[in-house]
Structure 1
């Protein structure tokens, strides 16, 4: 617990200003403790202007992503070996080695602490991303993907994801839609369409898809099954534009996360191609 600043602030505030001074000292101490927590989580503050560089913003985004993953994993109580393995799998997907992997592991552990300043970290994420919708959406979807990596979502994880979405500026309805899309994406990938890393498995396109697989393909794109070809194409283009790896990189996505962005784009492409093939759309 970070309470050292509060104790000192209250003590000296009361010493020099009585009750009013103690209250003011408590406030200053709280700000000091909060700054220490953020610093330990790998965030830099720039109170006197001259904001962080692009590289610093990318570093903050990267560390925050794994710290919040740790916080989501802890939502169910004790973090299990399976959840630690899920974090390792995410690091593998990003090809993290050496210092970068160590930084991700340390951030994940920081997120599991009982006094992890989730709201403050998410506020910093909005700053480091410049408030860009595509980057914030990627951050949220990264948390959803990690939570869904074992194929299920615990109610406590859902509650934390709602809090994360709210702090990033997404509505409850927007989060629930993304949860449905991710759940469908998990089934779609494990049903032979896309496979690990977004690569098509051998022979997967020769097999006739089931009704459930086709239904999941529509859900991956966030559209209804009776959607016509024009609406389907608009939804596909919108998602591809939002998740295009090069565009995300240009907006500040950490380069270590490029592979995950590529996988997401391939997932969207696979779902669209399957629907076109089955429905005969051009």
Structure 2
């Protein structure tokens, strides 16, 4: 049975009056046997629930944002109704989004990388209508803090999404301006390797996340090119 089929079964059985995130977290832990399956399921649940909470914080869900969400997942036709149900339940649940983020963080044994992936996904959806609104930016920043991401880490991530072609290229790459040319080259090669789709999938993100990986690589490449031109090295 596919991950989406099992997720669909979990969502279908959710009582309308339950504390949604408690129910879903426990169901993911008990339903998925392998760590890879749990990571994939946990990531998918995270993105659906937190996207719903972000839509509530912003006050409106646009068609562009719905399409951006669909870019992240290849949901079988038979499970789309269940995913929509989870999205709507998360919007209506009295539990705040910070409670969601804390519960979700407990599903991952890994370090900060998977949390950065989730934050990247939220930015991808938030900016789909042409800009990241102030309420959305504050929402994502607070989720990042719950996940334990530092202020510099969040600044680095947000700089890739909020007008990256005008942002500080050193901030986008996450490297000190005083770094040598060789240090810049080594750092760039390392973070590009970490953004490879195979690395992302090993962390549990779905194959469709290539859309975000491609955008992230474009921002990193653009920042590196600007530094290279500024310093005039090959």
- The 1:35/1:229 distance shift into structure 2, 3 A limit, reads farther
Q: Report Cα offsets for 1:36-94 as digits up to 9, x if no partner.
A: 412665761658xx974332431221122122012112213x314x2x42132231365
Q: Per the alignment, do residues 232 and 258 of structure 1 end up closer, same or farther by CA in structure 2, a change over 3 Å counting? A: same
Asked if residue 67 in structure 1 is aligned to residue 62 in structure 2, the reply is no
Per the alignment, residue 98 of structure 1 pairs with 77
Q: 1:184 to 1:239 in 2, by over 3 A?
A: farther
Post-superposition offset of 1:139: 0.9
TM-score by length of 2: 0.72
Residue 246 of structure 1: how far off its partner (Å): 0.9
* Separation in structure 2 between the aligned mates of residue 104 and residue 264 of structure 1, nearest angstrom: 26
2:173–2:220 CA contact under 8 A, matched in 1: yes
Q: Which residue of 198, 205, 209 maps to 1:257?
A: 209
- In structure 1, the partner of 2:195 is 243
Q: Structure 2 residue aligned with 1:152, among 131, 134, 140?
A: 131
Are positions 1:38 and 2:41 aligned together? no
Give the unaligned 5+ runs of structure 1.
1-31, 189-211
| Deviation at residue 217 of structure 1 after TM alignment | 4.5
The structure with the largest alpha-carbon Rg is: 1
Q: Deviations over 1:201-238 (max 9, x none)?
A: xxxxxxxxxxx5xx554443234677642242243234
Residue in structure 2 matching 1:79, options 60, 65, 70: 60
State how 1:4-153 maps to structure 2 within 5 Å: 36-38=19-21, 44=27, 46=29, 52-53=33-34, 54-76=36-58, 78-80=59-61, 82=62, 84-92=63-71, 94=73, 96=75, 98-99=77-78, 101-102=80-81, 104-153=83-132
Distance 1:43 1:100, change over 3 A: farther
For the structure 1 residues 255 and 99, does the alpha-carbon distance in structure 2 shift closer, same or farther, using more than 3 Å as the test? farther
Structure 1: how far apart are the matches of 2:196 and 2:64? Answer: 28
Q: Deviations over 1:119-176 (max 9, x none)?
A: 4432343233323321111112221332233343333323322321121111334323
Alpha-carbon RMSD: 3.6
The 3 A distance-change label for structure 1 pair 220 and 116 is same
Gaps of 5+ in 2: 1-14
Q: In the alignment, is the contact (CA less than 8 A) between 1:65 and 1:139 conserved in 2? A: yes
What is the alpha-carbon distance in structure 2 between the residues aligned to residue 64 and residue 223 of structure 1?
29
Aligned to 1:221: 173
On the 8 A contact 2:98/2:146 being kept in 1, the answer is yes
TM-score by length of 1: 0.62
Looking at structure 1, the residues matched to 118 and 48 of structure 2 have their Cα atoms a distance apart, in angstroms, of 10
Residue 274 of structure 1 deviates from its aligned partner by 5.1
